[in-house]
């Protein structure tokens, strides 16, 4: 690496002490993406090179507006964003992302960090607040934590969407049965509440279980929690 390039990278990222191996065992085979938002081209280049060498896919942007105009793939991702930039700041980007359906984990970077600034970022949901030059182990741990969090959010969103799709296939009577079943009512009690025979109540409950993909009552209760369905009580 040319000396000038080495100096630029050193100004952004401080290498780990030789005894540390922060990235060992953290890499996942799951595709992921790191977005860098910084108005300084040298910093974008240095961070991109550092993260590419750690086998991360990286896309960089010169401004928050450019990032907001781009599409985000449905893979675990996070954003490394500078606090101070012309026009929109890192905090402005954080506020803009908060209004979107999927809020990517943000890792703030700054050369002039203060305690109030850090508190503001963390209260608004930032994952980490790193001060330049950034210690390499801190950077990699923050990224792995952010990607793990986003992966879990993607899984949760997919599970919620599937639960809503399944619930939408229930008939009105099956939805009533669902609410009674998670309330702990037995088949005979549900039959009484619905004004139907016990045999018919069993049929409705079996259909609810099959359509929701629930193998047991606890599974059905978990679906109810995902969908914010309140259990019906015996009158």
| pLDDT at 41 (0 to 100) | 94
CA distance 28 to 144: 9
The mean of the pLDDT values for the chain is 84
Q: What 3-state class would DSSP assign to 142?
A: helix
For 124-137, what is the mean pLDDT? 83
| pLDDT at 17 (0 to 100) | 42
Name the CATH topology of 3-158: Rossmann fold (3.40.50)
DSSP bridge pairs for 58: 34
Cβ(114)–Cβ(131) under 8 Å?
no
DSSP 36-55: EE-S-HHHHHHHHHHHHHTT
Residue 26's contacts (CB-CB under 8 Å, 6 or more residues apart) are 140, 141, 144
**Pick from 10-14, 173-177, 205-209: least confident:** 10-14
Q: Give yes or no for residue 202 having a pLDDT over 90.
A: yes
Q: Give yes or no for residue 99 having a pLDDT over 50.
A: yes
- Is the pTM higher than 0.85? The answer reads no
Q: How do residues 33-83 score in pLDDT, each as one tens digit? A: 999 999 999 999 999 999 999 999 999 999 999 999 998 888 999 999 998
For 169-227, CATH number out of 1.10.10.10, 1.10.3720.10, 3.40.50.10800, 1.10.10.60 equals: 1.10.10.10
Residue 186's contacts (CB-CB under 8 Å, 6 or more residues apart) are none
Specify the domain boundaries for CATH 3.40.50.2300 within the chain: 3-158
């Amino acid at each position: 690496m040319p000396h000038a390039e080495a100096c630029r990278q050193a100004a952004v990222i401080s290498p780990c002490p030789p005894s540390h191996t922060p990235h060992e065992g953290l890499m996942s085979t799951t595709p992921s993406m790191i977005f860098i938002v910084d108005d300084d081209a040298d910093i974008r280049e240095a961070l991109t090179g550092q993260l590419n060498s750690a086998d991360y896919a990286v896309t960089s942007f010169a401004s928050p507006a450019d990032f907001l105009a781009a599409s985000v793939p449905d893979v675990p991702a996070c954003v490394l964003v500078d606090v101070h930039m012309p026009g929109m700041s890192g905090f402005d980007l954080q506020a803009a992302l908060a209004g979107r359906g999927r809020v990517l984990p943000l890792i703030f970077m700054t050369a002039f960090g203060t305690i109030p600034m850090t508190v503001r970022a963390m209260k608004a949901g930032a994952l980490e607040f790193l001060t330049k030059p950034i210690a390499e182990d801190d950077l990699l741990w923050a990224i792995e934590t952010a990607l793990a969090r986003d992966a879990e959010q993607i899984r949760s969103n997919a599970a919620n969407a599937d639960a809503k799709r399944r619930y939408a296939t229930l008939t009105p009577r099956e939805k009533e049965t669902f609410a009674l079943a998670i309330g702990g009512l037995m088949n005979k009690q549900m039959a009484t509440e619905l004004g139907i025979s016990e045999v018919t109540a069993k049929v409705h409950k079996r259909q609810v279980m099959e359509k929701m993909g629930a193998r047991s009552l606890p599974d059905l209760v978990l679906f109810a929690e995902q969908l914010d369905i309140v259990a019906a009580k015996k009158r």
